[in-house]
Structure 1
Amino acid sequence: MIVEPLILHHDTKTTLPGLREALTALPAAPPAITFAEYTALTASVRSLYDEARDDYLRLTLRVPTPEQELSTRILAKHIISNPRRKNSRRGLMVSAPMFYGKTELALLLARSVEQDHAKKFPDYADNGEVPVVWVEVTDHATGKALLSQIIRFLAPTITLPTQITTDNLRRRAVELLHVHHTKLLVIDEAHNLGGSEPSSVIKALQNESSATVVLVGINLASGKAFGSGEGLQVTMRCDLVELRRVDIRTEEGMALWRRWVAIFDRNLPLCEHIPGTLTRNAPALHAAADGRLSVLAMIIERLMGLFGLSVGVMG
């Protein structure tokens, strides 16, 4: 049996090579084998096999959510309409507390936009087109810092003058977004933006660039960055998608949660795994995950480590 290891060359999504690697890192499920075949593998091959199923579980196996479907629909509409608007272009806010899967949802949206662009323009990368730009802001980040990240994503070798003004940075960022045909600008950890300057910069980007802005962060609509003052101007231009925990006390909530667990159950890459084990324990998994999909995924990963790597059987 030949198992090719997944090799990643970039540590962050905030560079073009790093983002494209993150968007394409979707390893296939390793071949199904019996526990006897697993134990017969050499130590080196067994280690590669374990890495392969861990990579598949972490990077490829995903479950559809109502928020994903809603966000995809909203984003597709904005990407079509924003280039036809002359100002007050629409954006999207993906908001939730910690450990709700906000960044993962944004990554799914980015992958969808990139793949759709690639279908329409197969030579887009060779032509220098960058349909998706991804930046992550740190605590108390300024508008100038945000613009600098956008510029360096699209022009990594550029040297920016130390005394450059915010207006000049904005003009350069907008020009680069236009030149590279950018459709989607993801601003992750957007709750770290503070004060009126970042909000005014984002509003200016929405006015001057046809790229659709997606803000991802913790409790954005009620936080310090966009919940009051000038930040409300950005909030009012964005459709808000909030990720919530699933309440299994309702029939709809229980059905959704069982569906999520069942998808993991059917696709769990364990030797001789009998689907149904996880699904029967859906209520217990809900309690352990507190109704949060991202925590459920972490629990499944740990179960893989506990049962998959040391025993090889779960059924």
Structure 2
Amino acid sequence: MIVQSLTLQHDRKTTVPGLREALTALPPVPPPISFSEYAALSAGDRDVYDEARQDFVRLTLRVPTPEQDVSARILAKLIASNQRRKNSRRGIMISAPMFYGKTELALLLARSVEREHARRYPDYTERGEVPVVWIEVTDHATGKALLAQIIRFLAPTAAEPTRINTHDLRRQAVELLHSHHTKLLVIDEAHNLGGSEPSSVIKALQNESSATVALVGIDLAGGKAFGSGEGLQVTMRCDLVELRKVDIRTDSGLDLWKRWVATFDRNLPLCEHRPGTLTRNHLALHAAASGRLAILAMIVERLISSILGEPARVDEEVTRERLFAVLDGLRQTTPVRHRIKLDDLVDAA
């Protein structure tokens, strides 16, 4: 059995190498083996295998969502049309509270744009093309700071002038986006933008650059950044995708949640895993996750980590005791204060 360890060289998505690493770091599912075969491995090989399994769960194991399909269709149309517009180009907003998977959705969209560009232009990296730019804004970020991040992303070695006005910064940023054939500009944590200046800068970018702007953040349409004043002009130029809790009181919501849980259950990279316990406890998991996919994914990730962290384990079966230990820990360490008890859970049939 050959398992390659995942090696990451960059900590941030806000550089070209870091973003491309984030878009391509998708480890395959490790080859399945029996627990006896696992126990026969050397300690070093077990560590590598365990690490590969956790990397698969953290980085690769995902479930399809309705918002992914909607966002992908919107973005493809915007990118196609914005390159032919001369003014008032449209963008996309991805808005939700915390723990709803906003950044994960934005990464998925960025990955699709990068892959499509690579398919059409296989030598795009040699030509210096950067189809996706990713920036993250901090609290009370100004328009000048936003433009400076774009410039640093695309020209990290360029000397930063000590004194430059917003107009010249914008011109430089627009020229770089054009010369690098950028199609998507992701502004993550966009709710941190405040005041009219950042909104006017984003509006100017939409006017002057053919790159489609994707704003990602908390309560964007109703918050301080884009809910009123000049920010509202940006909102009106964007298609809004809001991520919501799954309401299992509806048939469609219940079916969607059950599919998500079953998908995770089928794909757990555990030795001799038999799906069942997660699926049978889908209602308890909904309560524990408060209907949020990002927390469900966190539960699955912690479940794998906790099982692989048992040094004296004799199997890797998902039991209600192991699942409850994770749910109880979640209650202690996150804002989700669920009331799931051990007796609420059942084992696989």
TM above 0.5, yes or no, is yes
1:85 is displaced (CA, Å) by: 0.8
For 2:308 and 2:245, locate their aligned partners in 1 and report how far apart those are by CA, in whole Å: 28
Distance 1:161 1:192 in 2: 25
Tell me by how many angstroms 1:145 deviates: 0.4
Contact 1:143–1:198 (CA under 8 A) maintained in structure 2: yes
- Aligned twin of 1:314: 317
2:300 equivalent in structure 1: 300
8 Å contact from structure 1 (residues 265, 275) kept in 2:
yes
Aligned: 1:93 with 2:93: yes
> In 2, Cα distance between the equivalents of 1:117 and 1:161?
32
- Paired residue for 1:116? 116
Q: Could you tell me how far 1:260 is from its partner in structure 2? A: 0.5
Cα distance in structure 2, aligned partners of 1:20 and 1:196: 32
In structure 1, the gaps of 5 or more residues are none
**1:195 corresponding residue in structure 2:** 195
Note if 1:204 corresponds to 2:207.
no
Structure-2-length-normalised TM-score = 0.89
Residues 271, 308 of structure 1: 8 Å contact kept: no
Aligned 1:170-249 pairs, distance under 5 A: 170-249=170-249
Which residue type is aligned with residue 270 of structure 1? L
Following superposition, the deviation at residue 160 of structure 1 comes to 1.9
What residue in structure 2 maps to residue 274 of structure 1?
Answer: 274
**1:17 aligned partner:** 17
Q: Percent identity?
A: 76
**CA distance in 2: counterparts of 1:247 and 1:307, whole angstroms:** 30
**Residue in 1 aligned with 2:49?**
49
Q: Deviations along 1:89-145, whole A, 9 cap, x unmatched?
A: 000000000110000000000000000000000000100010000000001100000
Moved over 3 A (4+): none
Aligned-partner Cα distance in 2 for 1:188–1:20: 16
Q: Report the 3-state secondary structure (helix = DSSP H, G, I; strand = E; otherwise coil) of the residue aligned with 1:222.
A: coil
Instruction: Check conservation: 1:50, 1:309, Cα contact below 8 A.
Output: no
Q: Which has the higher contact order (CA 8 A, sep 6+)?
A: 1
- Which digits, 9 at most, give the CA deviation of each residue in 1:3-36, with x for residues without a partner? 2110000000000000000000010111101111
Which segment is superposed worse, 271-280 or 143-152? 271-280
1:159-178 aligned within 5 A:
159-178=159-178
What is the CA–CA distance in structure 1 between the aligned matches of 2:109 and 2:58, rounded to whole Å?
Answer: 17
How far off its partner does 1:249 sit?
1.1
Give the Cα–Cα distance (whole angstroms) in 1 for the partners of residues 317 and 243 of structure 2: 31
**Counterpart-to-counterpart distance in 1, 2:80 and 2:220:** 25
Q: Which residue of 1 aligns with 2:152?
A: 152
Q: How many corresponding residue pairs?
A: 315
Q: CA deviation at 1:2?
A: 2.3
Question: RMSD of the TM alignment (CA)?
Answer: 0.8
Q: Aligned letter for 1:275?
A: P
